[in-house]
Structure 1
Amino acid sequence: MALPLMPKATAVWLVENTALSFIQIADFCGLHELEIQAIADGDVGMGMQGLDPLANGQLTQAELDRCAADPASRLKLAKSTNPMPKARGKGARYTPVSKRQDRPDGIAWLLKNHPELQPVQIAKLLGTTKPTIKAIDDKTHWNSTNITPRNPVTLGLCTEADLEKLVIIARARAAKLGKAEEKAESKVQESTEASSKE
């Protein structure tokens, strides 16, 4: 269950301004009932400013009235009207200057350990270009003598989840292409057998 922001300050406000039971307040704020009792006794939270959950939209007055009338019911957070943050858009990733020298090592590691990945996928994952990938693969890169394959995840160039996702997609594509090639070879073999029988 989601908790309100600043649960202890919210509990202080609810104790001071409502007739809710300690259990209801404890359940809503994610605190223990004894903590709420200590707040009410003044042992905990002395001098703490209460946070009004009505003012910041975490509770509605109707919900507060409903729970005040029925001690067995529990408070529920109000749905937020604030816009939710959106996931970062896809595209080239910014690589800090301090990690740019590690990018060729990451590319070399991907080429060595995941040959099923296409250059386009590697370019998108690490924020590089296809000519750079080709140069590292052909060992014509200007710094090829100093390139040592290192995992791009440990270098901080990409996340493990992004890498795994791309590898799964690449393996599925490779399996699909392998089946298509087998099918084409079997058709060619059948046609050569049929022509030899005639």
Structure 2
Amino acid sequence: MAPAEPEQEAKQEPKQPNRPYHHGDLRHAILTTALDVIAADGPGALSLRDLARRAGVSHAAPAHHFKDRTGLLTAIAAEGFALLAATLAEAPDLKEAGVRYVRFAREHPAHFQVMFAPELLRADDLELTTARALATDALRTPVSAAHTGGLDSRLAGVAAWSFAHGFAALLLSHNLDDPLGDQAPEEAFRTLATTMFRPGT
């Protein structure tokens, strides 16, 4: 009977990697792993089954939190817009809001990829629509306070967003590597914003 004891212990060992997730935050673990995959290979490489394997849980476990791949991507976008809203809320003026927008894209490239790909998302998701509205309001506030030269505030918001978003998108796609050289992206954007949008114009 004695030899059976080690055999029982050996059978229990494979279950150990799963234990942290039973008592921890599986949703957060899946989101974090998904962001790593997206940052490395893009949203197209995302698979719930693969994420479950990486997390050491059953292939059905992620579905309990996100239902499907679209649900996971929607959760990532909602988290991204919430983070962006918090970042923009700290900006003292429109120029610095743009700087923070660029910094957000550089620090959260996976979020940024997913947030502006509506074909990947569940458009009517409440968490997503709420977070997106918060981010929009956070951008609208510095636009309203800026001198826009008589330009309609909505168009001024489009102009500011286009400038910051375009710069961020070019940065993430490495199209600005040569033009910027060793210059910090945020400083380059700040210089451009100062030149192109002078106070009082």
**TM-score interval, smaller chain:** under 0.3
Name the TM-score, length of structure 2 as normaliser. 0.23
TM-score by length of 1: 0.23
Mark the structure with the bigger radius of gyration.
1
